[in-house]
Chain A
Amino acid sequence: MKLSSSSISTRLMWMNLIVSGVVLVLAVLAFFFYDLVSFRDNLVRSLETSAQIVGANSVSAVVFNDPQSATTTLEALRNSPDVEAAVLRSDGTNFAVYRRPGVHALPAEKALPKGANDETWVTGQRVLLAHRIVFDGKPIGTVYIAARLRETSKRARQYLAIAGIILLLCMLAGFAISATARRTVAQPIIALAETAHRVSRERDYAVRAEPPPDNDEIAVLVNAFNEMLVQIQERDSALNRARDELEQRVEERTAALQAANRELEAFSYTVAHDLRGPLDAVQGMVYILENLESEGKRGERQEILQNLRQSTSGMAGLIDDLLNLSRASTVELRHDRVNLAEIVRHIAEDLKRSEPERKVEFVIYSPPEVEADEGLIRVAMDNLIRNAWKYTSRHETACIEFGAKRVQGETRYFVRDDGAGFDPELTRRLFEPFQRLHSRSEFPGTGIGLATVQRILERHGGRIWAEGAVEKGATFWFTLREAAGERVH
Chain B
Amino acid sequence: MMPGYGARQHGEERRPRRARAGRWLAGVLLAAAGSAAATIAPTRASAERPSQSDVEAAYLYNFGRFVSWPSAGSQGPMTICVAGQESFAQELSSLVSGEKIRGQLIQVKRVWRPGAADGCAILFVGHDVPYLSGYLTATRGKPVLTVGDAPDFLRQGGIIQFLLQGDHVRFSVNLVAANQNRLKLSSELLKVAVSVAGHPAGGGVR
Contacts and interface: CB of A to CB of B under 8 A. Distances in A.
A107 to B, nearest CB: 11
A89 B3 CA distance: 10
Contact of A88 (B1, B189, B191): B1
A376 B130 CA distance: 186
B163 to A, nearest CB: 13
Contacts of B101: 136
Contact of A136 (B27, B65, B191): B65
Contacts of B31: 62, 89-91, 138-141
A185 interface: no
A415 B9 CA distance: 166
Given A62-B32, A63-B32, A141-B31, A91 B5 contact: yes
A215 B129 CA distance: 113
Nearest to A109: B1
Interface in B96-116: 101
Contacts of B55: 65
Among A88, A90, A93, A109, chain B packs the most CB atoms within 10 A around the CB of A90
Contacts, number: 83
A61 B188 CA distance: 8
Given A60-B192, A62-B28, A93-B27, A111 B2 contact: yes
A60 B188 contact: yes
Contacts of A62: 28, 31-32
Contacts of B32: 62-63, 135, 138, 140
Interface in A69-118: 69, 88-93, 95, 109-112, 114
B2 A112 contact: yes
Contacts of B168: 65
Contact of A69 (B26, B171, B191): B191
Interface in B120-173: 168-171
B1 A92 contact: yes
A246 B24 CA distance: 128
Given A64-B59, A142-B1, A142-B2, A91 B192 contact: no
A111 B28 contact: no
Contact of A90 (B27, B170, B186, B188): B27
A142 B27 CA distance: 11
A109 B119 CA distance: 49
A138 B24 contact: no
Contacts of A95: 27
Contacts of A64: 59, 62, 171, 189, 192
A89 B192 contact: no
A60 B193 CA distance: 10
Given A65-B24, A89-B24, A138-B31, A111 B1 contact: yes
Nearest to B65: A136
Contacts of A61: 191-192
Nearest to B33: A138
Given A61-B191, A91-B3, A138-B31, 4 more contacts: A69-B191, A136-B34, A138-B32, A142-B1
